[in-house]
Chain A
């Protein structure tokens, strides 16, 4: 039985709050990104000055001792970042309503999103989940392209083992920035844009549970991005994306940007996950039983649980790291009584679920899309859901396989080897579902479907190589080499990013009412697919031959393969450029309208106009059947979008009564 706990009156996109008045202020005086930038700059300067005062750098009487284990500038920089974040949020107006409520004044209606229109709303703290989804989409593309450019810089350096473009120091800075940016910001690459935009519509809701938290989760990401990038100005951080102590404790001030930005993203994703979980549990329309929940929503829920359980551990780890670097605590420093193992455990207790945080949304997208293009029901719906839940659960029991070579208790290795190998079983469920759905289907090879098929292909290679790496002897051999690097790029880029692209081509017409150019899309797909495999497949061989990660020099006999990989990576970069051109060309220049249902999908999100109306639905719909009943004789419509008066209320009362009885 579906549970709809929220009466219709509370289902406005802004949560039933008053419309924004604007107060008659000119545009530049209203909270938006420009006031946020001012707030961030002022906050940074204040924080830095405070740090200087505390550390005695200004000659103040209050001589706070400098920390001998790190640069003396750590305090000013960390405090600068912290106040910059607060200033950024204050400039956006995040605290306005909270402060008004604290002093008993009526809230201003700042950010009553759906009543606003025009481009400006995308630069504000808006509460409409659709605006937040678009903000996330553009943000994620920018973050991805930035990190991608850094990857191409790395491949340029690796064109030669002896002649260098960058110094070794700059190279490791680029490696660290690329890895951290990809792993921390791409955490939200699907949950952010598609989860926030589509989940409420897919479950028949007019809003998300916590619009402010949702909007806040996005607006933390630009600050995390900028803080991380600012690391270049501070000398970078020489320890990759993992930030192992004591390297990260003794690194110079660039490491502060890593710790603050990563911790901030931990807060962002935890908030995002919390919102989605509550939205799905409490805001499903009548008839949207768990057994009718779209696979994409299942993936969002399972990912969100990982968010709220894993990300706080990351935040705690980063907090302790910052304290070690500034306040001279010794959580992770062995010689002072701490434990570097503690950091490794804390980091990977987040870090391995993180891998599945990146994989599950990809599984969700492909599972959602293949029935549409196969024109068949999704094979073994419950198995797909079980696969996702199984992956989520097991992902918390495998983290120590990252520590196989760290000197951990050897008795722990077999346990974590087995749990790691076990996780291939629920992952296999996803492939079983795909095979069953493909079986005897008349597949429409449109661009989104091609990306889905490529995702299955790529992830298979990544998954199989992962089974080898879960095996202790094999891992001992390959650890720290390009083999590992090739493996996780096959799972993350080959899985997540290909699925992300599938999602963009599939849902962009829904989100914007504009479709992407199909021919450019085909060119994009084929170049990206071929170049991706041409880039990363040889890296298994390179790693097997012993080339270590994060080192800018290598054996001269590996130059041929490295040059092949580097040139392929330029083609890969070109394919992404082609996508960006297509995206900008189609959405800004040509703007070919697509307001209908171009894929003939049964998804609830496609039953409303494109882009959806401000409140998503005129009335709360009543869901009648599965979204995957393609080709099913006498299948009912997926939902009644205009149910007779009283139906929704009756469903709510019925659910309440059932709850009371229970």
Chain B
């Protein structure tokens, strides 16, 4: 093969490999569920209040895993529910959180996770009533938790009554049986990504409940990005 032909072959092969690499990086490495930004106009480290709204559903009918339990986040601008678990808040702010709990109860394996930690006042409000701990055993009041280990935040999610017929189409609407949990915490002054998760092994169909939605961002685990 002549030199020009060898060089052309090399260049073509290189471009093909480079294109493939770029495709993989863009589509698989850098792919993640969308990020919902809260407090877009808020200046960081001023203690300003930002309102974050989520819901946890017994299923999701918007993904390839319809039987997986999942969180949704409400976009503050459009008020539409987004199937993601990544949200952005300003640093050094007061974060008021509202979570609509549509899923049924699961007895906690460790009652410790029924305790509220890391919130302002050390309490959460369930339908407006303050609690510092939810009993997951005698009354089966806990479905999931919203926990950010990096700031020691743990909030158990209250569930609808045991007899209620749970919402079947996601995102659920307030017409379905639910309980509303509200709480507040201060976002850290240090910017960065803070991992959050549900501590209830709620991966139905997976061994011991650990797996599937429990390990997948966009379902029961996600990131809180704290920005300046």
Contact = CB atoms under 8 A, between A and B. Distances in A.
Given A169-B215, A170-B32, A553-B195, 16 more contacts: A71-B212, A161-B192, A162-B191, A163-B191, A163-B193, A165-B30, A168-B195, A169-B217, A170-B28, A232-B29, A250-B206, A250-B210, A250-B212, A335-B208, A584-B10, A589-B3
Interface string B1-42: 101001100100000000001001000111110000000000
A238 B216 CA distance: 10
A323 to B, nearest CB: 15
A523 interface: no
Contacts of B192: 160-163
B212 A170 contact: no
B3 A250 contact: no
Given A166-B30, A170-B29, A246 B207 contact: yes
A160 B195 CA distance: 14
Nearest to A334: B207
A70 B207 CA distance: 9
B6 A589 contact: yes
Nearest to A73: B64
24 contacts: A68-B205, A162-B191, A162-B193, A163-B191, A166-B29, A166-B32, A167-B217, A168-B223, A170-B28, A170-B30, A170-B31, A170-B32, A232-B28, A232-B29, A233-B28, A246-B207, A246-B208, A250-B210, A252-B212, A252-B216, A335-B207, A335-B208, A584-B10, A588-B10
Q: Which 6 A-B pairs have the closest CB atoms?
A: A162-B192, A250-B211, A250-B206, A232-B28, A250-B207, A246-B207
Contacts of B212: 71, 250, 252
A337 to B, nearest CB: 13
Nearest to B7: A589
Interface in A318-363: 333, 335
Interface string B192-209: 110100000001011110
Interface string A221-264: 00000000000110100100000001001111000000000000
B162 interface: no
A131 to B, nearest CB: 18
Contacts of A70: 206
Q: Chain A interface mostly helix, strand, loop or mixed?
A: loop
A335 B32 CA distance: 34
Nearest to A233: B28
Contacts of B207: 69, 246, 249-250, 333, 335
B139 interface: no
B206 A174 contact: no
Contacts of B32: 166-167, 170
Contacts of A162: 190-193
A588 B3 CA distance: 8
Interface of A: 68-71, 119, 149, 153, 160-170, 174, 232-233, 235, 238, 246, 249-252, 333, 335, 553, 584, 588-589
Contact of A153 (B3, B29, B193): B29
B193 A164 contact: yes
A251 B203 CA distance: 11
A170 B31 CA distance: 8
Interface of B: 1, 3, 6-7, 10, 21, 24, 28-32, 86, 190-193, 195, 203, 205-208, 210-212, 215-217, 223
B216 A169 contact: yes
Contacts of A149: 21
Nearest to B3: A589
A166 B31 CA distance: 8
A153 B30 CA distance: 11
A161 B194 CA distance: 10
Contacts of A69: 205-207
Contact of A119 (B1, B203, B215): B1
Contacts of A252: 211-212, 216
Contacts of B6: 588-589
Contacts of B216: 169, 235, 252
Nearest to B194: A162
Contacts of B217: 167-169
A167 B205 contact: no
Contacts of A164: 193, 223
Contact of B223 (A167, A235, A333, A589): A167
A149 B195 CA distance: 26
Contact of B215 (A170, A238, A246, A249): A238
Contacts of B191: 162-163
A168 B193 CA distance: 10
B196 to A, nearest CB: 11
B228 to A, nearest CB: 11
Contacts of B193: 162-164
Contacts of A238: 215
Nearest to B64: A73
Contacts of B10: 584, 588-589
A329 B145 CA distance: 33
Given A335-B208, A553-B195, A588-B6, A174 B29 contact: yes
B33 to A, nearest CB: 8
B208 to A, nearest CB: 7
A508 B222 CA distance: 50
A584 B205 CA distance: 51
Contacts of A250: 203, 206-207, 210-212
A553 B195 CA distance: 9
Contacts of A170: 28-32
A162 B208 CA distance: 30
Nearest to A238: B215
Contacts of A333: 207
B63 to A, nearest CB: 12
A249 B191 CA distance: 37
Nearest to A229: B24
Contacts of B86: 167
Contacts of B210: 250
Contacts of A233: 28
A160 B215 CA distance: 22
B195 A232 contact: no
Nearest to B24: A232
A553 B210 CA distance: 21
A458 B30 CA distance: 35
A268 B4 CA distance: 38
A360 B161 CA distance: 65
A335 B195 CA distance: 30
